[in-house]
Structure 1
């Protein structure tokens, strides 16, 4: 079943992608055409649907640009049956889930039509990791106070300010301060997790960590791996995160401006399998 979502309640529209009126119809048609073409390795059909700023991340955390994708078209991992979408004016997010595999597509409205800006796969763990987690790091400098990225304009600066505030709340285990920075439909999907987490899930986890004293600083923003793409009143951030232990992750986040506030709507985080764990050479 596919769900099309605006800013409110999802509406079920059948067992395969159907097309709503207006912009919703156009972008879902583009997404369906893209997924069909990818499934048959039809490079000629895929090519015109890819944005010039395309960022493509596979489930192993390898990230490609448009040229690299068209040189060697990656294999299809999922179809588009059961996809869920959210429309934010000139940005539309479409997500497909199948078991532990998840694919986020972010479409941008361009003068020539809808173009695929982000394709990001996440394969989640079958079960939670064994063993005790490392002790939490209680001080957060990067990203809470400074980041190795210079915003290009006031829009990017506003997003980074919101991001720093929410990560400061994570460090403190302060769910009340964290929540205002997220849309109600927020979802985070990580390779290290076993299930996607909703906004309510994250609030419950922050409260649980605070009670247990296990709240701590998030991973750091890696230098020279950040891109911020503004489309209308939305910003897509692609970056690499360095955990305090373990392998780095390739991350896509989407922010929208709602009632004058920057709110994160989705975050997908894929462990880079080919990378060495932090601290190892």
Structure 2
């Protein structure tokens, strides 16, 4: 018994240092694991800067539309600013066109101040053009353009494409009328002015002769010999003046009539052709 007791005591004394070292080994092991496996809220390396967030409400997988362009001028009520194309307008799908259906009226476009805008045609207004004329011109052009865009949308054309077609048609009509009508009007004015000047000069000279003859008869001046020689120097300025005045009046009237008779029909034809070309380009590009 004593021998067994002594043996057990020896064993316990031999393993006691090892048992005392276990807690220390466990602490070292746990520390190593803690360094190898990151713990929540603890970083093991230098912090990386986070990407700045531009929209805290944006959800993953969604796209955000670009902001609308800023308008730097006042837009009247029931109008809209000049459209800004941010992406190509959809092409006309001819298979989806249909009979006109009721749609919301398109708002007319208000151009920036002191700007002439007729569809795609825009230019700064001359200083001599008062707002009393500029505003009605722009309003009439914008109303026509909006009505055309509304009609195109009613048959199934995309709003952005209908805007382009309407603007191209209005602008093309103006350019066509100007390109064809102005030269034609100038030619008509020149021809009419020359014809009117000749007719007016003849009429004015005849009136001058009648005035001279009537004055001579009233004064009792004899019509032949010495009386005619005396009356001639006074008659020349009257007859010549009548011819000049008649030529001026006739030239003005003839030029106006010639410009109107030739220039207006040419401008109408040019406007129709230009509007058709502008509408085609607006529908194709």
Bigger helix share: 2
Scaled by the length of structure 2, what TM-score is found?
0.18
Work out which of the two has the higher radius of gyration on C-alpha atoms and give 1 or 2: 2
Greater RCO structure (CA 8 Å; 6+ sep): 2
Bigger strand share: 1
